[in-house]
Structure 1
Amino acid sequence: WYWLGTWECAPLEVEVRLSLVYLAMEAGYMEKVDELCERHSLDKFLDIKVLETSIPQGRYLHLEELMIEEIIWVDEVEGLLDATCHIEDVKVIGLDCEWKPNYVKGSKPNKVSIMQIASEKKAFIFDLIKLHREVPESLDNCLTRILLSPGILKLGYNFQCDMKQLAHSYEELKCFKNYKRLLDIQKVFKDPRGGLAKLAEKVLGAGLNKTRRSSDWEQRPLTPNQLEYAALDAVVLVHIFRQLPDQGDEWKSCIESHMETTKKYKKRPKK
């Protein structure tokens, strides 16, 4: 890939920079796509349809072959309670979240827009923006029940970083400050190259199509392609986990919990 050395010396024309973005996307260098878009503020020029057609039609995972029964959009309190009840009845879930990219240099990241929680058969997509605006207490209570449940193993791919982004996006909520039994799949396989897409290809025989990663996650409704992408990112974690050997406890050493402690200050005696 001779063009990999041209990132710094690329001409200033937008067309040339976009060509580099599409080449990076085609080669699977998603981190480089994000870096280029952020550096040159290219988000408003990106055409998702062009991105999709620039990708060779290789072997990608689809929800049907993973036997997913349904994708459930959660944006009201009734759906939130139903989703929580279902999730509390399973032992293993996959976690992920998405937010709209912000490629303006020096600006703050956008709020996390959606959070995906998947069991082996169902994928729930939580509209965090709407739920936080309309039913913040219910959202906080339900996600706290899930994230702090000692009976549920939570799977993520470098999800500690996502938790920090969630906590920053919704500072007044307590649910994103603590978690129990989080297993980082990235640490288990000890091979960060290529991200989750390459890991899925290695373990499950097919990768993930990442063209929707840089799309607008704040638009409503999300497109069918966005919904499938979001669901797959969480569901695939459960299926990768199922391929771990039952014997041996090596992967269990990667399970982490985090409980935020509040510092207590002793009152000084009055003089």
Structure 2
Amino acid sequence: MKQIINKLFEDSKFEVKWQSNDKNIFFYSSKEENIVNYYILNYIDNTTFEDNLSLKIKLNNLEEEYIKFDKNKESLRLKFIKSFGDDLSKSILIDKNLSAIYILKTNDIDFIYNNKNLIYEIEESTNYFKRYVLVYTEEQVNSLKKKLNNDDKIIDLLQRIAKDKKEYMKLCKNNQLNTLYSFVIRIFSKIPFLKYEFEESCNIKPLEEIVKNNFKVFPDSANYHEILTQFISEVKTDPEEDKTSNALLQKLLSTTQINVSEKEIKEDLDKLLKEV
């Protein structure tokens, strides 16, 4: 992962100004004179410990090291400033232009779901620098490496993968986190200077709009829309829901504003459920 991320930063005209002895913390600065951006990359191997408390301590260590007040040990902030030597024009801008990316290795990508509150807590902190948490598995890194040729710019490869319309639609519908595609999308979303554009959007419509645009009869019947929409929502929540339940049919048939047959309602439901 370090090799991939370092290549990504190098291709984007960033350079390493400082790194820790264990090579788990890196400080990057832009090479371009007109761009003032600084990044701390903090690599954390979450496969070596399981409990949330240990992880939280690891995540908080970076902040503590950045501001450490210890006459016997320099803070990370001071080390970063010293990395510019006599060039004070850049070092004085660190505090206002610094972001930290926590690059977190896990065995189970469901870590994102299971620890969303912890991730949110870290990313929403406003102390000292902006924060991003990039979670990945070794399997995802290996999948990306297989596609990377020596002549490839990593950004170009990521762009090509991100523009895969089929994979994009799969992610929109299934939200599978352990695929190569979802990994690439997370890289784009967690590294601020990366930009991507899709040639097409999922254009996933609200259920209300799907209902209004697709059922055959009485398009102005708000009550009919409302009942159908509520039913589709329940099906999405509970896949075992009986899609043609008598209770639903009776509710629709008893709607006073319209006159729709049971057969027509079933046809409408079958058509709508294919789009959910």
TM-score with structure 1 setting the length: 0.26
TM-score scaled to structure 2, two decimals?
Answer: 0.25
State the structure with more CA Rg: 2
More helix by share: 2
